[in-house]
Structure 1
Amino acid sequence: MPKSTFFNLPDEKRGKIEAAALEEFRKHSYQSSSINRIVGVSDIPKGSFYQYFENKKDLYMHIISIIAEKKLEYMGPLLQNPQNLDLFTLIRELFRSGIEFGINNPEFLEIGNRLMRDQSSEIYKEFLHDNRSRSDEIFKVLIKEAQSKGEVRKDLDVSLAAYMLTSLNSTVMDYYIREHGDEGYSIDILKEVDKLIGFIRYGFAERGEGN
C-alpha cells in the first residue's frame, strides 16, 4: 500500500506516477521492470519514490489494485441486480463483462496477462491471496441467492463452491493462453467458459435443472 505522502500529492502528479508505472509494467515483467525508468518518465527524484512507496512491489500492487477496482466497477451493473439472471447465466455474463473490460483496456490486460503467466512467483501468490477472499465473498452471495430461488442444491457447500468459481477465472485464462496464445485475447474465450460452466452446472444444479 502506498504511503500517505503519495495520496497527499496533487492529483496530476499522482496520476503521472501511476501512468508511468502502468506503461512500465505493461512493457516489462515485474522482475525486469525498473524504478529508474518509472521515476524518469514521471519526472520525480528517485529519493522521492521511496517517500511514496516502500519498494517496487508496493507500487506494483497499487497498480494491480487500481486495475481490480476498475474491473469491479465495470462489472458493477451485473452484480447490483443478480436476481435478474440464473446463477449460470450470471457467471457467463460476468465472464463476458470481464473479457470486454480487457479488450477495451489493453494496457490493463497486458499487465494482467504478464502476472498470470508467472504463477510460480511470490508476487502472483500475494496477488491471489489478496484478491481471492473478495471474489469468494461475491460468489457466496450469488450462490446463496441461487439457493433461495431453487436453482442450486440446498446441500451445496457454499464456501467450497465459491472457491471453485473464483478458481474458474484463472483456469480459463490458463487454458486459453496455452491453446490460443498466439491468436490474442478475444470474446472467443467465452467458448471455453461455456465448456466449464457445463461441467459445473450438473454438480451445482437441483435435479431437473439444466436438462
Structure 2
Amino acid sequence: MTPLTADDLLYGYINGIFPMAEPDGTIYWYSPDPRAIIPIDSYKSPKSLRPVINKKTFEIRIDCNFEGVMHGCAAPRAVEEGTWISEDIIAAYTNLHKIGYAHSVEAYRENKLVGGLYGVAIGGVFFGESMFFIENNASKVAFHFLIETLRANNYILLDTQFINDNVLRYGAIEIPRTDYMERLKKALQLNRKFLLNPPQTASPKHSAF
C-alpha cells in the first residue's frame, strides 16, 4: 500500500474529501452528504466555560507540539472503540504541518500538554480533524481559541466533516454537499494566515463573550 503523503492530503482537502484509517490500517477517503460545519460568526462559548477562560486556567499555544496533539487524539477513549488516526495518518499530517498547512491549538497546565485539537488550514478554510483532553475543559478552551484565531484572521469556513454530539455542542450544523463545495471554492481563493495573535490595527469585530 502506497504511504499517504502531504500532497495527497492537500489534493483531498481542496477537492472536499478527507482520509480515515480502518483498524487494519487501510485508508479510505470520504465526502459526506450532508457535510457538517461550525458557523464561525455565531459560535458563543458556554457561560460555564467563561470563568475557566478568564482565570487563564490553561496556557494556549499554537504549533508547539503538533505530533503530541495527534497522539493525544489517537489515544484510546472510554466511550469509543478504536481510532481512525493510524500511524500513517500521523506521519502524513506531521509532514503537512512541517510545510505549514496543518496546525494544532494546545492547552497546557503547569507546562504539561493536557488537551488540544488539530486541523488543516488552506486559504480561508480550517478543516477541523480531532481533539482530546486529559483535564476537563482543556479541549473546550482550545476550541474557544481556535474560533478566536479564525475570527481574528478572517477565516470564513470551519469544516467539521460529520455531525455528532461532540460538534453539536459547538454549534455544528449540516449543509448539502453541493452547498459545502460552493463555500469551499470561495474560501480557498482567500489568502489567510493561521496566527494566534495577529497584528491588530483596530478592535476585533467579533467576540465570543
Q: TM-score normalised by the shorter chain: which range applies?
A: under 0.3
Whichever structure has more strand as a proportion of its residues is: 2
TM-score (norm 2): 0.26
Query: Relative contact order, CA 8 A, sep 6+: which one is greater?
Result: 2
Whichever structure has more helix as a proportion of its residues is: 1
Which one has a bigger Cα radius of gyration? 1
